[in-house]
């Protein structure tokens, strides 16, 4: 090897090391990382320097497919550094794991929750999770940080009753108190009636709704408050969900069922007195993410959560990056083809 070659190799090695260090989370087989891209001229995209941590830990809606796709889109088109964490068993992403009370001794393992410390935004898509104290502590610390919180679908019933976060000595209900509403039942027909999004006219100029049209998903509308009540006053409803009579985009509305709020904003203040922006959307199955309107809603909400609403572009790219063939929702895992995979399977 001559001197020139040796110097060139040294430069490449140093440059590669610098690139590898740009993402705030080290590479690991336990999670996925996506470094934010630049535009075609090498300039920073709006999300440059912001770190989004997405947590997949549910058993029904194929979040293990949806969140990596979301991370690819955010890093490629918008410049965000993204980290995807998964609920795992023996190093495998396993959506078939039981929850309490089916297994009263059940604890879930989500490696990497310590990286919430470097997150600018936490996106949760979890369901009936029971965390060991040392992992739950990372989530609780984030709730006190004043940094924004984004909940998808089952996140509003994401923790079992042993999530011991307290505010002023009173136990906090994650769905009700933090996100603004917990699951109270399937208003739409479960796995029978899809959802059509309807913009709330009074809030049509909200930046999250900029360019949002044609929101559709095969998951049903959740009810998050009693039939004689309404969305809490501290929530701003952005999108209503109208149940349809079937699972296809062309199906008619089910006129026997009213449209209920499925996306809203609010704020949350934890024990340190720091106030965070909160966005909750009760759609969100992996197949809901096939809707460009739904992806734009979420992308805009991420900008809003991070106080980047002045950079929300109604025509920004929300195209899917890479192969995306999400499985159907449900619990019949053998029929649906749901089996455990290592994290890199979803990269």
The DSSP string of 61-130 is: S-HHHHHHHHHHHHHHHH--EEEEEE-EETTEE-TT---TTTSTT---B-TTGGGGGG-SEEEEEE-SB-
Distance in angstroms (rounded) separating the CA atoms of residues 184 and 231: 13
pLDDT, one tens digit for every residue, the chain (347 residues): 444 434 333 433 333 333 334 899 999 999 999 999 998 788 899 999 999 999 999 999 999 999 999 999 999 999 999 999 999 999 999 999 999 989 999 999 999 999 999 999 999 999 999 999 999 999 999 999 999 999 999 999 999 877 899 999 999 999 999 999 999 999 999 999 999 999 999 999 999 999 999 999 999 999 999 998 999 999 999 999 999 999 999 999 999 999 999 999 999 999 999 999 999 999 999 999 999 999 999 999 999 999 999 999 999 999 999 999 999 999 999 999 999 999 999 99
3-state DSSP: the chain helix, strand, coil percent, rounded to 5? 30, 20, 50
The structure tokens 């984004």 sit at 150
Which run of H or E residues covers position 16? helix 3-20
Query: 218: which 2 tokens?
Result: 């095969």
User: What's residue 15's pLDDT?
Assistant: 35
User: What's residue 21's pLDDT?
Assistant: 46
User: What's residue 261's pLDDT?
Assistant: 98
Assign residue 25 a region (left: φ > 0; alpha: ψ between -120 and 50; beta: otherwise).
Answer: beta
The SS3 of residue 155 is helix
Neighbours of 52 (CB within 10 A): 27
User: What's residue 26's pLDDT?
Assistant: 97
Tell me which residue of 136, 123, 114, 113 sits closest to 50, measured CA to CA.
123
Distance in angstroms (rounded) separating the CA atoms of residues 57 and 132: 14
Rg (the chain; Cα; Å) = 20
User: What's residue 42's pLDDT?
Assistant: 87
CATH number of 29-185+263-346: 3.40.50
Distance in angstroms (rounded) separating the CA atoms of residues 346 and 338: 13
User: What's residue 39's pLDDT?
Assistant: 85
Q: Which residues of 55-78 are buried (b: 16+ CB within 10 A; e: fewer)?
A: bbbbbbbbbbbbbbbbbbbbbbbb
Distance in angstroms (rounded) separating the CA atoms of residues 56 and 73: 16
User: What's residue 11's pLDDT?
Assistant: 35
């Amino acid at each position: 090897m001559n001197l020139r070659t040796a110097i060139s190799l040294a430069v490449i090695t140093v440059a590669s090391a610098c690139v590898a260090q740009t993402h705030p989370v080290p590479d690991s087989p336990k999670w996925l990382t996506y470094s934010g891209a630049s535009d075609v001229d090498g300039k920073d995209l709006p999300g440059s320097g912001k770190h989004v941590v997405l947590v997949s830990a549910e058993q029904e809606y194929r979040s293990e497919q949806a969140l990596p796709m979301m991370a690819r889109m955010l890093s490629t088109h918008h410049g965000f550094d993204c980290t995807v964490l998964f609920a795992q068993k023996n190093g495998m992403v396993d959506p078939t794991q039981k929850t309490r009370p089916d297994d009263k001794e059940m604890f879930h393992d989500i490696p990497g929750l310590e990286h919430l410390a470097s997150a600018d935004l936490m996106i949760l898509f979890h369901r009936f999770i029971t965390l060991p104290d040392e992992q739950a502590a990372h989530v609780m610390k984030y709730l006190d940080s004043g940094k924004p919180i984004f909940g998808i679908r089952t996140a509003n019933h994401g923790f079992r009753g042993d999530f011991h976060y307290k505010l002023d000595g009173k136990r906090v209900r994650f769905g009700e108190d933090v996100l603004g509403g917990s699951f109270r039942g399937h208003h739409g027909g479960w796995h029978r009636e899809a959802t059509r999004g309807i913009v709330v006219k009074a809030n049509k100029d909200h930046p999250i709704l900029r360019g949002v049209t044609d929101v559709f998903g095969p998951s049903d509308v959740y009810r998050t408050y009693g039939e004689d009540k309404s969305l809490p006053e501290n929530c701003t409803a952005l999108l209503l969900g109208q149940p349809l009579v079937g699972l296809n985009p062309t199906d008619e509305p089910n006129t026997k069922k009213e449209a209920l709020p499925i996306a809203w904003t609010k704020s949350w203040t934890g024990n340190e007195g720091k106030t965070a922006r909160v966005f909750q959307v009760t759609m969100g199955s992996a197949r809901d993410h096939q809707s460009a309107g739904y992806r734009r809603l979420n992308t805009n909400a991420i900008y809003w959560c991070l106080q980047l609403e002045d950079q929300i572009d109604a025509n920004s790219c929300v195209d899917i990056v890479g192969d995306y063939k999400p499985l159907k929702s449900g619990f019949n895992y053998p029929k649906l083809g749901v089996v455990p995979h290592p994290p890199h399977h979803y990269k």
